[in-house]
Structure 1
Amino acid sequence: MASETYVVHASTTRDVALRERTDFWSEHVTSCQSRMGYGYPRTDDFHAGTIRQFTDTHQLVMFWSDTITYTRTAGQTRHAPDEDYRLLLPVTGEMVMRQGDQELRLVPGAGCLVTFATPFELRQDVSARALIMSIAAQEVNGRLNRSSPLTAAIDLASGLGRVVGDMLTGLHEERDTLTTGQFDAVSDRLVELLCMLAAGDDRPTAPGHLTDVETMVRRYIREHAADPGMTGITVAQALGWSLRQVQLALQHAGTTPRELIREERLRLVRDRLPAPAYRHMTITELAYASGFSSSSALSTAFRQRFGVCPREVRHAGPRPVGDTRPS
Structure 2
Amino acid sequence: MTSGERTDFWSEHVTSCQGLMDYRYPPTDDFHAGTIRQRTDTYQLVTFWSDTIRYARTAGQVRRDPDEDYRFLLPVAGELVLRQEDQEVRLTPKAGCLVTFAAPFELLQDASMRALIMSIPAREVNGRLNRSSPLVAGLDLASGLGRVVGDMLTGLHEERDTLTGGRFDAVSDRLVELLCMLAAGDNRPTAPGHLTEVEAVVRQYIREHAADPDMTGATIAQALGWSLRQVQLALHHAGTTPRDLIREERLRLVRDRLRAPVYRHLTITELAYASGFSSASALSTAFRRRFGVCPREMRHAGPRPVGNTRRS
The TM-score by the shorter chain falls in which range? 0.7 to 0.9
**Which residue of the partner structure matches residue 130 of structure 2?**
145
Q: What root-mean-square deviation, in Å, do the aligned CA atoms of Structure 1 and Structure 2 show?
A: 2.9
1:160 aligns with 2:117: no
Deviation of 1:230 after TM superposition, in Å, equals: 0.5
Q: Cα distance, 1:137 vs. partner?
A: 2.6
Is 1:268 the equivalent of 2:253?
yes
2:229 alignment partner, one of 244, 262, 266: 244
How far apart, in 2, do the equivalents of 1:71 and 1:206 lie? 34
TM-score normalised by structure 2 residue count = 0.84
2:306 pairs with 1:319 = no
1:1-327 to structure 2, matched below 5 A, reads 16-200=1-185, 202-203=187-188, 209-279=194-264, 281=266, 283-295=268-280, 297-306=282-291, 310=295, 316=300, 319=303
Write the letter of the residue equivalent to 1:175: R
Gaps of 5+ in 2: 306-312
Question: Is 2:216–2:243's contact at 8 Å kept on the other side of the alignment?
Answer: yes
Shift of 1:300: 4.8
CA drift of 1:132 comes to: 0.4
How far apart in 1 are the matches of 2:116 and 2:201? 29
Distance 1:320 1:288, change over 3 A: farther
Distance change >3 Å, CA 256–CA 129, structure 1 → 2 = same
The aligned counterpart of 2:308 is: none
Distance 2:273 2:123 in 1: 31
Verify the 8 A CA contact 1:270 1:320 in the aligned structure 2: no
TM-superposed CA distance for 1:154, in Å, is 1.1
Is 241-250 or 118-127 further displaced after alignment?
241-250
Residue aligned with 1:235, SS? helix
Judged with a 3 Å threshold, the aligned counterparts in structure 2 of structure 1 residues 276 and 86 are, in CA distance, closer, same or farther, namely: closer
Deviates more, 1:99-108 or 1:118-127: 99-108
**Corresponding residue pairs, total:** 305
SS in 2 for 1:260: helix
Secondary structure, counterpart of 2:187 in structure 1: coil
Give the whole-Å Cα distance in 2 for the aligned partners of 1:313 and 1:82.
23
Tell me how far apart the structure 1 counterparts of residues 173 and 197 of structure 2 sit (CA, whole Å): 19
Asked if structure 1 preserves the Cα contact closer than 8 Å seen for 2:166 and 2:259, the reply is no
Deviations 1:47-74 (A, max 9, x none): 1111111122111111111111122334
Find the counterpart in structure 2 of residue 6 from structure 1.
Answer: none
With structure 1 as the length reference, what TM-score do the two structures score? 0.81
Question: In 2, distance between residues paired with 1:229 and 1:198?
Answer: 32
CA–CA separation in structure 2 for the residues paired with 1:50 and 1:320: 18
Asked whether the equivalents of residues 203 and 211 of structure 1 are also in contact (C-alpha less than 8 Å), the reply is no
CA contact (8 A) 2:85 2:134 kept: no
Q: Distance in 2 between matches of 1:75 and 1:276?
A: 45
Unaligned runs of 5+ in 1: 1-15, 322-327
Instruction: Describe the SS at the equivalent of 2:31.
Output: coil
Shift, 1:89, TM fit: 0.7
Shift of 1:197: 0.8
